[in-house]
A and B are shown apart, each in its own frame.
Chain A
Amino acid sequence: MIDINTIRKDFPILERKFNGKRMIYLDSTATSQKPIQMIEAISDYYKKYNANVHRGIYGLSEEATDLYEKSRKNISSFINSRNAESIVFVRNTTEALNLLSYSLGKKLKKGDEIVTTVMEHHSNIVPWQFLQENGIKIKFVDINEDGTLRMEQFSELITKRTKIVSVTHVSNVLGTINDVKYIGKIAHENDSYFIVDGAQSVPHMPVDVNSIDCDFLAFSGHKMLGPMGIGVLYGKKEILDEMDPFMGGGEMINEVHLSGATWAEVPLKFEAGTPNVEGAVGLSAAVDYLKKLGMDNVREHEKELVKYAMDRLENFDDIILYGPRNPEIKGGVIAFNFKNVKNAKIAKALMDEGIMIHPHDVASILDIDAVMVRSGHHCAQPLMERLGVPATSRASFYIYNDRDDIDEFIRALVNVKKVLKL
């Protein structure tokens, strides 16, 4: 079980007060807060071990290299990858997906197709759109009314022309946990590469790349207690081996002559330039923290919170929730709006959209009570269009949140209509 009081003590930032009130951080889907163990691991690295990696002959450089590679192994075991060489350090999920768009994209020909979904974050749409100029077509699986994917469309849309299937594991808006194992099976039956965007799953639940049988998994360190600027691309080694590098420069080469160069082995082939060693060390410390809690416990904790929050929100007759109601298939994220009730005096424009209060105003008013939620399109504009709203508010939960946070959130939410005199 998760002991919330012990956990909270590990997160110094949660002691901050805003407007004299305890900070209620409900935006972990954007970025998580950081435990002191992670912060100290980075400071310790700079105090004792800093040197450039993979090149110095001296002992200190070997120690730094050892730390960097141990971090890789630790993260590898966290997602049950068979070997550490499958872990490529990148900046974030976005960079991982751009790497794939570039390197896998080189293998694609005019007329080839990519299948993804309407619930994707922009980072799993825009990199693929880059390939449209080469005559590559992108197809999108739609959602049902309850915010789950229309699973039957995968077998309709994936054909022999489909070379890549790239799907989010958990939606950063709807919270939907997608059955990626099932989707991967259809992708592989059609000889397509199968990519999972794990930005919202790896931090929050057990993720096993062998069980999912994905070819690639992308995730960001900063959403899972780690520092910003470090992320991971997991790839099956035999596929990484045959891919061209993304960026050229130091570290990624075998030998360089004026006439050309050959590449280093995987994963260094994809890690051009001096890597983010502090980031890798910090992420490894974050992974240690999560391993100690147990990812099953993390998932259970969030499932309980999301259920509690949805139950409380259902008492509002004018709040609409987006995404599944079943906590078994929903991550710790709730997107919502105040819906338009008849005869409410609201802005004419918003009336057309069926919502009563713009999410920015909701977030601004909650902020006065130190309740921090996100508002906007959450980098998922195609999904907003699909839902027929310009934006939503979004509250999300992590290991340091509890029922008290949700009670404060609900209390602040009641205040929104009062402030706007609605």
Chain B
Amino acid sequence: MTYDIYMDFILEHYKNPSNYGKIENPSTSSKGLNPLCGDELEIYILVEKNTIKDIKFTGKGCAISQASASILTEMVKGKDIDYVKNLKEKDLLDALGIEISPSRLKCALLSYNTLKEAVSKL
């Protein structure tokens, strides 16, 4: 365990997250919970012509879970649904670019699991 997980890139996303907020009348949405720590995340998606036209999230949680949601929504915005369906956990972890300890993996993947859940409802 080192200070590296709190590198500037992560802190910037944490303090100024992209795509933070709600979408009225989304095509799909999902709420993710991390029952062990009480982290919450809600993802809203607007789909047009099989493409993610807009995506937003709200939530409360640690720097890792919130930065990860910000980075993930950036990754998928404008992409087609198949891209999201084929997205792997590793893709997000690579994008975060930090070494995540087992106890924090749940934080890092909360947004990923919530996104997958939302898309599966389409």
Contact = CB atoms under 8 A, between A and B. Distances in A.
Q: Which of B59, B60, B107 has the most CB of A within 10 A?
A: B60
Interface residues of B, number: 26
Interface in B6-25: 6, 8, 11, 14-15, 17, 20
Contacts of A365: 3, 6
A347 B59 CA distance: 10
A368 B60 contact: no
A347 B15 contact: yes
B1 A390 contact: no
B11 A421 contact: yes
Interface in A366-413: 367-368, 375-377, 381, 384, 390-391
A361 B60 contact: no
Contacts of B38: 376-377, 381, 384, 390-391
B11 A375 contact: no
Interface string A296-313: 000000000000000000
A377 B2 CA distance: 25
Interface in B55-101: 58-64, 66
Nearest to A360: B62
Interface in A284-334: none
18 contacts: A345-B15, A347-B15, A347-B66, A349-B20, A349-B60, A353-B60, A360-B62, A360-B63, A364-B5, A364-B62, A368-B1, A368-B3, A376-B36, A376-B37, A377-B38, A390-B61, A391-B38, A421-B11
A242 B120 CA distance: 53
Contact of A349 (B5, B36, B61): B61
A19 interface: yes
Contact of A358 (B11, B15, B17, B63): B63
A414 interface: no
A367 B1 contact: yes
A348 B61 contact: no
B56 to A, nearest CB: 12
Contact of A360 (B15, B17, B37): B37
B53 interface: no
Nearest to A346: B15
B3 A358 contact: no
A-side interface size class: 20 to 34
Given A348-B17, A365-B6, A375 B37 contact: yes
Contact of B3 (A345, A346, A384, A419): A419
Interface of A: 19, 345-350, 352-353, 358-361, 364-365, 367-368, 375-377, 381, 384, 390-391, 419-421
Given A347-B66, A349-B66, A381-B38, A390 B5 contact: no
B3 A390 contact: no
Contacts of A349: 20, 58-61, 66
Contacts of B5: 364
Q: Does more than half of chain A's interface fall in helix, strand or loop, or is it mixed?
A: helix
B115 to A, nearest CB: 17
B92 to A, nearest CB: 18
A359 B38 CA distance: 11
Given A347-B14, A360-B107, A420-B6, 16 more contacts: A19-B1, A346-B15, A349-B58, A349-B59, A353-B60, A358-B60, A358-B61, A360-B39, A360-B64, A360-B104, A376-B38, A377-B37, A377-B38, A391-B37, A419-B6, A420-B63
A160 B59 CA distance: 44
B73 to A, nearest CB: 14
Nearest to A368: B1
Contact of B20 (A348, A376, A391, A419): A348
Contact of A352 (B17, B39, B60, B63): B60
Contacts of A19: 1-2
B36 A358 contact: no
Contact of A390 (B14, B39, B63): B39
Contacts of B2: 19, 368
A419 B14 CA distance: 13
Contacts of B59: 349
